[in-house]
Structure 1
Amino acid sequence: MTVEAWTFLFVILSFLLYTYIGWRSRVRDSKGFFIAEQGIPAIANGAATAADWMSAASFISIAGLISFLGYDGSIYLIGGTGGFVLLALLLAPYLRKFGKYTVPDFIGDRYYSTAARLVAVVAAIFVSLIYASGQMRGVGIVFSRFLQIPIGAGVVIGMIVVGFFAVLGGMKGITWTQVAQYTVLIIAYLIPAFAIAWILTGIPLPQIAFIFSDIVEKLNGISVDLGFSEYTQPFANKSMLDVLFITIALMVGAAGLPHVIVRFYTVSSPRAARYSAGWALLFIALLYSTIPAIAGFARYNLIDSLHGKSIEQIQELDWATKWEKTGLLAFEDKNNNGRIELTPAKESNEIAIDPDIIVLANPEMANLAPWVIALVAAGGLAASLSTASGLLLVISSSIAHDVYFRIVNPNASESQRLMVGRIMVGFAVAIAGYFGVNPPGFVGQVVAFAFGLAAACFFPAIILGIFDKRANKEGAISGMVIGLAFTAFYIIGVKFYGMSTWMFGISPEGIGTVGMMLNFTITLIVSRLTPPPPLEVQRLVEDLRSPEHAPPALADIGEEQS
């Protein structure tokens, strides 16, 4: 069987599995739709959280970025893993103890303000749509190569599938589907990693092979010979300040991502939330510890496969010609010597490659069996769809629960809330699909922008909401608005309007750190210059951090909302 035939088989089987799980997990009430009836076991929630966390960026893009950036690309690994530890230790248990459905729900009640809730809703939708567009882009890339269809058509197929089980099953259907998707994606990532490690180094474990074999030494030598800096040379592609700020933005942004935070509401207790965080960290580590090896192997295979080859030799490479048809890989013999050369200078480099194809093309470059290549494609789809579904539910719940039920129609029936939630999923799928076809950058970059916006808006509001009982609604609203507005202005200006990186050369991926610092500073100052929160809110914050007491319910606080 060909790669395309195997891919079609795996995709059909996996999509049927996801659809069946979504159908079996369908819900009829809002509690099941938004928080899966709080009945998910810790280990299953850990797998679902890992699938939610390991998006198309983790599966497809991070290894590609590290492969291109070398040492400097490690910021994406450090930021991602560090962010989850931060979330598990500082945020998740307290938010679960608070007992609300969503991040805007926490912010609205903690800061006793409808305005604060609305700011959080806008930010959650903004962040989630940007993040979801990266996932849809990942779906389109996989389909365009392995099923030989346009990227736009692939995005539409992904929209239909994820929309089906998200609309039908809500959080319950999404959770159990994500457990299956984690299983698919981790198997799909590890099998080719073991095989390529064995082929290149004679050591089957990729982590051990990358550390103890001579592959890194070879990579450094080849990179220098081609005119690049050494693969492991730090700060060769980014300044030290930019590396620091991107890492911080990714860490605190990841800790503030609403679609991951909501996962800790689906278990029965704060204790179960801690256990599920531990399981999730283990499941995440299986993939994240493999990424550096995959990145190094892919760079080595890419250079070995393409550099210095004649145009005729490249045309004989089936994988290269098929990726070329997608528009994500291109060759141009600029010096007319009949050979294709990889160089660091743009004007003389003859290979144009999208970093997002590195992981997907690596098994083909290594001449692995067609079924292994197809398995990687199925894994990429699982990673993309699992995160997209969680993001879509955040958008749905932000509108249906935090706006419609909490503000517009507090007397809404179960069926009305459920209907609004399902309609919002449909709208969110359509918008995310549009940006998947017309993305603002590589998958990894798009995700980094979402992390930066989450860092600038949510992280300070949540941290101060838990640990500073003096933080009030005036401070939180001011901090969130200014942090989000500044970060969005900088990212949009640099990416779309040619604005220079005037803030000390910090890239758009790292500007969320500055937005976060602005948010913290403004919230603290404004909170001290305005009246303190009501006494019941201050008692709530004290009880929230006390292991002996459960926090009082604030669902009905509204007398002092603004």
Structure 2
Amino acid sequence: MNLTFSGADGIIILVVYAVIMLVVGYLAGRGKKLNESLNDYYLAGKNLGIIALFFTLYATQYSGNTVVGYAPNAYREGFSWLQSIPFMTIIVGVYLMFAPRLYAISKRANFITPTDWVTYRFRNKAVTILAIILMLWGLGNYLLEQLVAIGQAASGLTGGTIPYEYAVIGFVFVMLTYEWLGGMKAVAFTDVMQGIVLMVGIIVLLIGALTLTGGGISSLTSDIATTAPEKIGVPDSITSVNWLSMILLVGFGAAIYPHAVQRIYSSQSERTLKRSLSRIALMPPITTGFVLIIGIIGIQLFPDLDTAASEQLVGLMANEVAAINGFYYWMMVILFGGIVAAIVSTADSALLSFSSMVSNDIYGKYINPDAPEKKKVKVGKFAGIGVIALLLWIAWNPPGTLYQIFVLKFELLVQVFPAFVLGLYWKRLAAVPVFWGMLTGAIIAAAMTLTGNSTLLGVHGGVIGLAANFFICTVGSLLIPASQAKQDEAEERSSMKLEEIKYNEKTGSLG
């Protein structure tokens, strides 16, 4: 982002945010034996209240990339990017489809990671391992996206005083430090800070941008109709199909983000979870809706930007808004500091989830099942450092625009959805069709992406793979259903009645 803010002002704001994050991490972990318990370190003791849960879910669904990446996409596509509102809304609808039921089961069976549910439901090593691979892939892509955005936002905020690479390294160090100190609780509390700043900042940026246009939305659309009519007209059939495809891809994929699922586990109660989700449902128009308008305003203020230049749109607009007066200047500085903090808070969620899956799902289940929880937590922490080092190497030469990186992670992650959600409600769903459905869907999606044909007639490869996945899961389970004994066991395990679930409370095993 090409900002003309004072480099010193930007550095001051970034240092303030960094110090706040470190203090939050210290306070969250002070006097607590987080390193000795997977439940305490990765799930905040399953005791997040409505405010912390709301903001940590908000941070999972939105990040600084929502502002930095979505506004340029609205600029390039015009009003057809209205799809960003329903695909963020459908995520909440999908949450409500499975989250309360999954929460009730996770509370009784002591789940730590998303694939604990897959293991518990299917009792099939192949299904569990494939689900782990696909979820780790999604998390890796998500982390890469955030690292790229951290560097761009911090470098832009300081006017290039802090180079891209140094900005990434500096905030990764801050993130690792407070996450090590406070685990999920530190992550959730920093999410509260960044969520408030992001919401207020987006509103101020929108008001400032509307001030620059000197008119309302109606005059804005009239101007665009004259200068860029293709961005305001009715989308063609391929664009409309692509819109629906994106809604399905993001709606189903984002709802089963590993770190989103772990926030479901972390809720203080089912009532707290439902109340948080009901409030999250109000956020798409306020967040992605406002960002859409900001991108549309950019069409009038900065016409004829190419793809590369349009990626700098938010920075260009912030410069203009900051020049209005001193209030707007400092609000823009605070906003961009908040964007950096928001990106960091989103990255820390993904990193924490990645670490938990390595420590619990790979090391704890297959390498050293008898390891004490303290050792598992330590393994997860060092695994997090390892994956960050790898992704930093990739981030020096980021592959494509932020939006393109964003899309990549869903193509494979979404293939876990049938096993994850159908398994909650359909007792006949069998492990073998689930495995082959996931694998086939993943191969189709990966093949289309790697060959450069990420869509077919507007439909994303991930959605085509998901359709094949659902077909194999359902038809295979109908033709070769699980035995009656396994069906009865599946019904018992997916029941919401406490007395029907048997597990070892002392050891927390999934037995």
User: TM-score, length-normalised on structure 2?
Assistant: 0.89
Q: Distance in 2 between the 1:217 and 1:41 partners? A: 46
User: Which of 355, 380, 387 is residue 396 of structure 1 equivalent to?
Assistant: 355
Q: CA deviation at 1:24?
A: 1.3
Q: What are the superposed Cα offsets for residues 65-120 of structure 1, whole Å, 9 maximum, x if unpaired?
A: 01111123223332222222222x11211221121222111111111122222111
Name the residue aligned to 2:88: 80
Name the residue aligned to 1:469: 427
Report if the CA contact (8 A) 1:25-1:169 is conserved. Answer: yes
Listed as ranges, the gaps of 5+ residues in structure 1 are 203-208, 304-341, 343-349, 495-499
| 2:448 pairs with 1:490 | yes
User: Which of 47, 58, 64 is residue 56 of structure 1 equivalent to?
Assistant: 64
Q: CA deviation at 1:142?
A: 1.0
Name the residue aligned to 1:306: none
Report if the CA contact (8 A) 2:88-2:284 is conserved. Answer: no
| 2:40 pairs with 1:32 | yes
Q: Distance in 2 between the 1:126 and 1:119 partners? A: 11
Q: CA deviation at 1:15?
A: 1.0
Q: What are the superposed Cα offsets for residues 187-210 of structure 1, whole Å, 9 maximum, x if unpaired?
A: 2222221222234346xxxxxx53
Range moving further from structure 2, 125-134 or 429-438:
429-438
1:271-350 correspondence to structure 2 within 5 Å: 271-303=271-303, 342=304
Q: Distance in 2 between the 1:453 and 1:78 partners? A: 21
| 2:172 pairs with 1:217 | no
User: Which of 156, 177, 188 is residue 169 of structure 2 equivalent to?
Assistant: 156
Q: CA deviation at 1:513?
A: 0.8
User: Which of 413, 417, 421 is residue 459 of structure 1 equivalent to?
Assistant: 417
Q: Distance in 2 between the 1:430 and 1:60 partners? A: 24
User: Structure 2 vs 1, CA of residues 546 and 145 (structure 1 numbering), >3 Å: closer, same or farther?
Assistant: closer
Q: CA deviation at 1:420?
A: 0.9
User: Structure 2 vs 1, CA of residues 219 and 458 (structure 1 numbering), >3 Å: closer, same or farther?
Assistant: same
- Name the amino acid aligned to 1:143: A
| 2:175 pairs with 1:168 | no
Q: What are the superposed Cα offsets for residues 169-192 of structure 1, whole Å, 9 maximum, x if unpaired?
A: 221221111111212222222222
- Name the amino acid aligned to 1:45: L
Listed as ranges, the gaps of 5+ residues in structure 2 are none
Q: CA deviation at 1:143?
A: 2.2
Q: What are the superposed Cα offsets for residues 1-27 of structure 1, whole Å, 9 maximum, x if unpaired?
A: 953222112111111111111111122
User: Structure 2 vs 1, CA of residues 138 and 550 (structure 1 numbering), >3 Å: closer, same or farther?
Assistant: farther
Range moving further from structure 2, 49-58 or 540-549:
540-549
1:96-245 correspondence to structure 2 within 5 Å: 96-99=103-106, 100-147=111-158, 148=160, 149-201=162-214, 209-210=216-217, 213-224=218-229, 229=230, 231-235=231-235, 239-245=239-245
Q: CA deviation at 1:406?
A: 2.4
Q: Distance in 2 between the 1:293 and 1:118 partners? A: 43
Name the residue aligned to 1:517: 467
Q: CA deviation at 1:536?
A: 6.2
User: Structure 2 vs 1, CA of residues 139 and 520 (structure 1 numbering), >3 Å: closer, same or farther?
Assistant: same
Report if the CA contact (8 A) 2:135-2:258 is conserved. Answer: yes
SS at match of 2:389: helix
Report if the CA contact (8 A) 1:167-1:426 is conserved. Answer: no
Report if the CA contact (8 A) 1:66-1:295 is conserved. Answer: yes
Report if the CA contact (8 A) 2:81-2:292 is conserved. Answer: no
Q: What are the superposed Cα offsets for residues 502-551 of structure 1, whole Å, 9 maximum, x if unpaired?
A: x63346xx221111111111112332343516736645536645568664
Q: Distance in 2 between the 1:111 and 1:39 partners? A: 28
Q: Distance in 2 between the 1:298 and 1:113 partners? A: 52
User: Which of 438, 442, 461 is residue 480 of structure 1 equivalent to?
Assistant: 438
Name the residue aligned to 1:322: none
RMSD: 2.5
Q: Distance in 2 between the 1:443 and 1:168 partners? A: 30
SS at match of 1:290: helix
Percent of aligned positions that are identical: 21
| 2:54 pairs with 1:13 | no
Q: CA deviation at 1:373?
A: 2.6
SS at match of 1:83: helix
Report if the CA contact (8 A) 2:437-2:469 is conserved. Answer: yes
User: Structure 2 vs 1, CA of residues 146 and 472 (structure 1 numbering), >3 Å: closer, same or farther?
Assistant: same
Report if the CA contact (8 A) 1:42-1:279 is conserved. Answer: no
Report if the CA contact (8 A) 1:107-1:117 is conserved. Answer: yes
Q: Distance in 2 between the 1:79 and 1:411 partners? A: 42
- Name the amino acid aligned to 1:47: F
User: Structure 2 vs 1, CA of residues 162 and 65 (structure 1 numbering), >3 Å: closer, same or farther?
Assistant: same
Name the residue aligned to 2:250: 250
User: Structure 2 vs 1, CA of residues 491 and 403 (structure 1 numbering), >3 Å: closer, same or farther?
Assistant: same
SS at match of 2:132: helix
Report if the CA contact (8 A) 1:97-1:551 is conserved. Answer: no
- Name the amino acid aligned to 2:38: S
Q: What are the superposed Cα offsets for residues 194-244 of structure 1, whole Å, 9 maximum, x if unpaired?
A: 222234346xxxxxx53xx321111221214xxxx2x22232695332232
Report if the CA contact (8 A) 1:245-1:511 is conserved. Answer: no
User: TM-score, length-normalised on structure 1?
Assistant: 0.81
SS at match of 2:312: helix
Name the residue aligned to 1:318: none
Name the residue aligned to 1:90: 97
Report if the CA contact (8 A) 2:412-2:442 is conserved. Answer: yes
User: Structure 2 vs 1, CA of residues 548 and 417 (structure 1 numbering), >3 Å: closer, same or farther?
Assistant: closer
Report if the CA contact (8 A) 2:42-2:184 is conserved. Answer: yes
